[in-house]
Amino acid sequence: MSEQEIDRSLLGAYALGVLDRAARHSVESHLGRCAGCRHELAELTAVERALRQVPPEAFIEGPPPGGDLLLQRTLRRIRDDRGGGSRVGRRIAVAAGVVALAGALVGGGAVVGRMTAPQQPVALNPPPQDENTAQPPGTRMLTAADPATGAHMTVAVAPAAGWVRLHADVVGVPAGTRCRIWVVGDDGRREAAGSWLASANGKAGTTVDALALIPPDQVAAVEVNTTDGKKLLVARA
């Protein structure tokens, strides 16, 4: 009995950890008696350890779903870099209200939505010209992130005649927090644009549609505060 060989192909499945309990036990009891199989298993196990270096995502093909905006931002960044990356040029664009801050980076330095990455300045990326979304022309995307709490927000500010529509995704605010969204004008004027109770599903967050009577070109920031006034997120235009 101790001389009896097993089906060696079991060793591959064993090394990969996919044998059921009964088969695993029969392999193990054989390994106790068979130096040849122990040696072979050691080789296969070394291969398995090498396979661990590769994350499972390595086998995902194709572009990410909903990745158009990300692609456009990336292309814009490259265009900016080719063009000498003139920050002055970008600032002018910001002032003209053409530009949005896109691409929140959670873990940036400040509590508010200033696009700071620890490693290098993150460009103020103009919005894509040709993204396939239903946002009206002139819509600005603002973002805010609080690395201390993990809360973040993406808000689209769409122009209307003398006022703005907001479409905000607010994620990571503790469930049950009473929230209010404000639009802040460049003269410091503040308009409350809506309030809600943070969802228990913090990861999915809350989508907020709101309106505010502040002219599109005078929007300085969008804030989310608790209803008793504690600041949660500030996305600056």
Partner 1 sequence: MRFGARRSDRGSTAVDEALIKSVFDEHGGMLLAYATRLTGDRAAAEDVVQETLFRAWKHPEVLGNRKGSVRGWLLTVARNIVTDRARARAARPTEVAEQSPNSANGPVERDHADHVVNSMVVLEALDALSPEHREVLVEIYYRGRSMVEAAQALGIPPGTVKSRCYYALRALRGIVGVNQPARTREGAR
64 touches partner 1 (CB under 8 A): yes
Cα separation of 214 and 193, whole Å? 10
- Residue of the chain from 2, 4, 119, 132 that contacts partner 1 (CB under 8 A): 119
In 3D, which of 9, 10, 3 has the Cα closest to residue 35? Answer: 3
Residue 16 Cβ vs partner 1, minimum distance, rounded to whole Å: 5
Q: Which range in 11-19, 156-164, 183-191, 228-236 contacts partner 1 by CB under 8 A? A: 11-19
Number of Cβ within a 10 Å radius of residue 104: 21
Residue 157 Cβ vs partner 1, minimum distance, rounded to whole Å: 17
Which residues, in sequence order, are CB contacts of 196 under 8 Å at separation 6+? 178, 179, 206, 208
Residue 24 Cβ vs Zn ion, minimum distance, rounded to whole Å: 15
Q: Which range in 106-114, 130-138, 185-193, 222-230 contacts partner 1 by CB under 8 A? A: 106-114
39 touches partner 1 (CB under 8 A): yes
Residue 5 Cβ vs Zn ion, minimum distance, rounded to whole Å: 5
Per-residue binding letters, 33-72, with Zn ion (x by CB under 5 A): -x-xx-----------------------------------
140 binds, among partner 1, Zn ion, none (CB under 5 to 8 A by kind): none
Closer of 55 and 229 to partner 1 (Cβ):
55
Cα separation of 221 and 218, whole Å? 9
Angle CA 153–159–162, to nearest 5 = 125
Contact between 75 and 112 under an 8 Å Cβ cutoff? The reply is no
CB-hemisphere CA count at 13 Å for 45?
8
- Residue of the chain from 30, 152, 165, 180 that contacts partner 1 (CB under 8 A): 152
109 touches partner 1 (CB under 8 A): yes
Which residues, in sequence order, are CB contacts of 18 under 8 Å at separation 6+? none
Which residue in this structure is represented by tokens 């409350």?
192
Q: If residue 98 lies in a helix (H) or strand (E), which one and from where to where? A: none
Residue 36 one-letter amino acid = G
Q: Which residues are near partner 1 by CB under 8 A?
A: 8-18, 38-39, 41-65, 67, 70-71, 73-75, 77-79, 81-82, 103-107, 109, 117-119, 122, 143, 145, 147-148, 150, 152, 154, 203
